[in-house]
Structure 1
Amino acid sequence: MKATRLTMICHGLTLAQKRGYFPEPEEPLVSVPRRCVPHGTFQILTAPEQRAQQTALALGDATIASGLADCNMGRWQGLALKRVQAEQPSALADWLENPASEVHGGESFQALCHRMSVWLKDFELPGEWFAVTHPMVMRAVLVQVLGCPMVAAQRIDVLPLSRIELSFSGQWRLRINCPQNASL
């Protein structure tokens, strides 16, 4: 059985991230990353949102994978976090503390975790893969791979262009890599 290696990459910086807003579905990047094609033979997947597709262009030709779509934030899309905190403090607290919360009218974190669990289960494609997606999606994937409580996702910061490396050979595993020629 040939192993699968999947590197998940967070999209580049958006104005919404910079200003503390919940993103709009078609939120563009502040600046498109410079082209950086990794070595070797690999395939690229991207979430359907514009910010993910713009980031994926830096790697090469990508196939849109709807399963990598961002969490739907419902009525909070495009709103400043400070505004939601001021106008709906109990709703925001509920959303932060309860993974099943749908107070914004969109997708709960619990539903996103389930969606990513199904996506990972169905991802049986051997070889080297890159997948450009979103911070919430990457948190949900880490929750699934590590088998930790969903509330632990609130303690994971996923910065623009950050990566997580996973491998699959019977089960998904987190790969923590050391840079080549690294020394302490």
Structure 2
Amino acid sequence: MKAVRLTLVCHALTHAQKTGCLPRPEDGILALEQPPVSAGPAVQVLSAPERRACETAAFLSAQARVEPALADCDLGCWQGLSLKQLQAAHPQALSEWLENPDSTPHGGESFAQLCQRVAVWLAAFDTPGEWLAVTHPMVIRAVLVQLLGCPMSAHQRIDVLPLSRLELSFAGQWRLRLG
């Protein structure tokens, strides 16, 4: 069995991240001081469907393919709002959402639902070779929670910075690759 090497790449910095707002699908990335190194010709590139992921993936490969399973968590009516706005207007709902992975006070997708979506995608992803997948902080947190088998509440303790990478390999089971 030939191994799968999958590197998840967090999209580049956005204005929403810089200003403490929750993301919207149409958010683009800020100008990059140093563009990420492009993927080699043998590396296949996937991208979440949101603009910020597609723009980041374009720096890595002209042939990036959109993968819907890598989409960010749907934050419903909270998209684009700042955390300060939510703390002022909906403190109990925000607290519930942060503490309970099954919570959806915004009317979108819960973190538990995101974890399930990511788990299904990882279970089906078995194409050998080198892969880069540009996605979002919450998706990368969901992958880590699934891979390590830790409580979903642990995702609140994981920081995923813009352009950070998480390397995985698969040869019968998914493994985290530290380098």
Q: TM-score, normalised by structure 1?
A: 0.94
Sequence identity of aligned pairs in percent?
60
139, 152, 155: which is aligned to 1:150?
152
Unaligned runs of 5+ in 2: none
Q: Once the 2 structures are TM-superposed, how far is the Cα of residue 40 of structure 1 from its aligned partner? A: 6.1
- SS of aligned partner of 1:72: coil
Q: What is the Cα deviation at residue 49 of structure 1?
A: 0.5
- Is the CA contact (8 Å cut-off) linking 1:35 and 1:57 kept in structure 2? no
TM-score by length of 2: 0.96
Does residue 15 (structure 1) correspond to residue 15 (structure 2)? The answer is yes
Matched, 1:54 2:55: yes
The structural deviation recorded for 1:35 is 5.4
Partner residue, 1:82: 84
User: 1:1-184 counterparts in 2 under 5 A?
Assistant: 1-32=1-32, 34=35, 36-39=37-40, 41-60=42-61, 61-177=63-179
> Deviation digits for residues 94-114 of structure 1, max 9, x if unmatched?
000000001110000000000
Measure, in 2, the Cα distance between the counterparts of 1:133 and 1:48: 9
SS in 2 for 1:161: coil
Between stretches 83-92 and 29-38, larger displacement belongs to 29-38
**Residues 80-121 of structure 1: CA deviation (Å, up to 9, x unaligned):** 111001110000000000000011100000000000000000
CA drift at 1:34: 2.1
Q: Give the Å deviation of 1:41.
A: 1.6
Counterparts of 1:38 and 1:122, CA distance in 2:
23
After TM superposition, the runs of 4+ consecutive aligned structure 1 residues lying more than 3 A away are: none
1: CA distance between counterparts of 2:35 and 2:117? 31
Residues paired across the two proteins, number: 177
- Distance in 2, Cα, partners of 1:30 & 1:92: 27
Name the SS for the 2:120 alignment partner.
helix
State the secondary structure of the residue aligned to 1:34.
coil
Tell me the CA shift for residue 17 of structure 1.
0.2
Give the Cα–Cα distance (whole angstroms) in 1 for the partners of residues 36 and 122 of structure 2. Answer: 27
What CA distance in whole angstroms lies between the structure 2 residues aligned with 1:141 and 1:46? 15
Residue-by-residue CA offset, 1:31-61 (whole Å, 9 max, x unaligned)? 1562522446210000000100000011112
SS of 2:46's equivalent? strand
Asked if structure 2 preserves the Cα contact closer than 8 Å seen for 1:9 and 1:162, the reply is yes
Aligned residue for 1:27, secondary structure, equals coil
RMSD across aligned C-alpha pairs, in angstroms?
Answer: 1.1
